[in-house]
Amino acid sequence: MRGLSLYPHSPDDVIERIGQRPHAVPKSADVVIIGGGIVGAASAYYLAARGLSVVLVEKDRIASHQSGRNWGFVRTQYRDPAELPLAVKALSLWPNLESTLGFPVGWRRSGCIFVAKDQEELAAFDGWLEAADGVVPDARMMTGSDVADLMPVFRAHAPGALYTPSDGQAEPSLATMAFAWAAEARGAQILEDCGATAIETANGRIEGVTTEHGFIQARVVVCAAGAASHRFLRGVGLMLPQQVVRNTVSLTAPMQPLSQACFCGFGVGLRQRGDGSCILAAESTSDIDVTLDLMRASRFFLPSFVTHRKAFAFSVGRPLLDDLHDRVSLSPEERIIEPRRQRLQVNQRRAGETARLLQTLFGGLDQVAVVKSWAGAIDVLPDALPVIDGATAVPGLIVATGFSGHGFGLGPAVGQAVADLATGAAPDVDLSPFRLDRFARGDYRRPHAPL
C-alpha cells in the first residue's frame, strides 16, 4: 500500500500557488470571472480555449474554499432529474480531463453506491431510478446479498442499494487547480489574493469588475463566487436567495479495502482513495451557524428546514460575534472580501461520531485513525439546484453558482456551458431549470433530497 498523501486534501495547509501571478491588474479583458473554484477555473479554461481573453479574480487562492473541501464524488446517481443531463455530460468529460488539460485530476472510475437502511429509503431509490428513465443506463437496484457480494466487509443489514458502476471520483484540489493551470497555459490570467468588490454596469449592461487592486473592463462577467454570489448580484439589482451550511469532512489513515465505490448510507459518506485513506463525512448532516445573515431569504428555506430538521444543527457562537463585528467595522466593499481566509470551525464531535460509526459498519477495523479534519461552507439554494444563466436582466452577466454541495462533479460541464453562453453558442444541455429568475417568479419546487 502506498504512503498516505495529504496533498490533494487542501484545504488550507497544502494549497500551492499556481505559478507566477501577474503583478499588475489588466485594464480590460473579454471576460472577467469572479471566483476560483472549479466552476470559475473550468469556465476560464473553456473560454480561453475559444480564443477569448480571460481574467479570473479570486480573493483567496484557487480551490481554497468549497471546491477544495468537498467529498470528491463524481456522480450521476440520485441527482435531481433536472440536473441529470448536465451530470451525464460531465461524467463523459472526466475520464479524458488529464489528457485534455495536461495535469492530474485524480480521476478514477470507482462507481457509486447508496445503501438503504430500510424499505422506505430503498423505495425512494427505486423511485428515482424509474424517474431517471434510462438517462443513466447502468444505474441499477441491488439486493442485500448483492451489497454483501460487492462489499464483503460491510456488516450492517441492508435491504438493498442503488448502484451506478460508471460513476467515479476525483481529487477536488488537484482537479480545480488543473483547470486553472490549463487556463493559464491557454493565456488566461489568474489573479489570486485579488478580491472583487463590485460588478459594474453602465446603461443597464455589464461594464466590468472593480477589484481591490483596480478596475477591469469587460463586456462579459461570470459570477461564480460561491457563497458570496448573492452580494455581487444584489449590487446589480438581482435577488439570489442563498444561504450557507457548514459541513465537516475528515481524512483517515490508510485502511483495508472497504468500498471501491463512493459510498453513502447509514449516516456515513465515504470515498476510499487509491492509497487506502478515506474521505469521511456524516451523510446529509450539516451545521448552520446562526448569524444575522441567516434571516436573509429565510422564507425560501423554512419549509425544507422544518421537513428535514434532523439533518441540521444550529450553532450559536463565534460566527455570530464575527458577523456583528464585521457589520460595525467593515464597509460593504470590505465585507464582500472578508474573511479572505475561511474561519470555519470543525465539528469535532461529529467527526468523532462518524469515525466510530464507520467502525461499526465495516468489519475488521480495530480503529479509524483520523489524520485531519476540515470544514467547508456549502452555498445552498431553496431547491438545491444551481443557477446557470446567461439571460439575466443585466446583459453581459452570466451567473454560475448555488450548487448546494454537489457541484464539483458537474464542474467541467458547467465550464463548457458558461463558455457557450459567453460566446453566443447554444448549450447542448437544457439550462432552463437553472434560470435565476425562477425564485422571483416562484417557479421552483422543494429539493429532490435534503439540502
pLDDT tens per residue, range 58-86: 999 999 999 999 999 999 999 999 999 99
Instruction: Measure the CA–CA gap between 8 and 71, rounded to whole angstroms.
Output: 11
Sign of the four-CA dihedral 293, 342, 186, 209: positive
CA–CA dist 280, 269 (Å, integer): 6
Residue 262 and residue 112 in contact, taking contact as beta carbons nearer than 8 Å: yes
Cis peptide preceding 81, ω within 30 of 0: no
Q: Which residues of the chain have pLDDT under 70?
A: 1-23, 289-295, 297-312, 314-328, 450-451
Task: Look at residues 189, 196, 218, 222 and name the one whose alpha carbon lies nearest to residue 421.
Answer: 222
pLDDT score recorded for residue 335: 73
**Antiparallel, parallel or unpaired: β 262-265 and 112-116:** parallel
Helix, strand and coil content of the chain, in percent to the nearest 5, comes to: 35, 25, 45
Q: What is the pLDDT of residue 295?
A: 62
Structure-block grid coordinates of residue 313: 444543527
Q: How far apart are CA 200 and CA 105, in angstroms?
A: 35
User: With contact defined as beta carbons under 8 Å apart, do 161 and 171 qualify?
Assistant: no
Distances (CA, A) of 163 to 87, 105, 246, 358, 447: 16, 24, 28, 20, 21
From CA 18, how far away is CA 213, in angstroms rounded? Answer: 19
Confidence (pLDDT) at 6: 47
Q: What pLDDT, on a 0 to 100 scale, did the predictor assign at position 40?
A: 98
Of the candidates 107, 85, 112, which has an alpha carbon nearest to the alpha carbon of residue 385? 85
Q: Are 350 and 370 in contact (CB under 8 A)?
A: no
> Angle, to 10 degrees, between the axis of helix 411-423 and the axis of helix 172-185?
30
- What is residue 16's predicted lDDT score, i.e. its pLDDT? 47
What is the sign of the dihedral through the CA atoms of 266, 7, 173 and 349? positive
Question: Among 387, 435, 440, which residue's Cα sits nearest to residue 35?
Answer: 387
Instruction: Give, in degrees to the nearest 5, the angle at Cα 246 between 324 and 115.
Output: 165
8 A C-beta contact, residue 8 and residue 197: no
Give the Cβ contact number of residue 48 at 10 Å.
Answer: 23
β-pairing, 397-401 with 387-389?
antiparallel
**Residue-level pLDDT at 167:** 98
Predicted TM-score (pTM) of the model is: 0.90
Query: In terms of CATH architecture, what is 7-441?
Result: 3-Layer(bba) Sandwich (3.50)
> Quick one: CA torsion of 211, 217, 221, 227, rounded to 10 degrees?
10
Q: Are 282 and 350 in contact (CB under 8 A)?
A: yes
Please state, in angstroms and rounded to a whole number, the distance separating the CA atoms of residues 98 and 103. 5
| Residue listed under C-alpha cell 465550464 | 415
How would you label 258-277 residue by residue, b for 16+ Cβ within 10 Å and e otherwise?
bbbbbbbbbebbbbbbeebb
Contact assessment for residue 192 and residue 18, using Cβ atoms and an 8 Å cutoff: yes
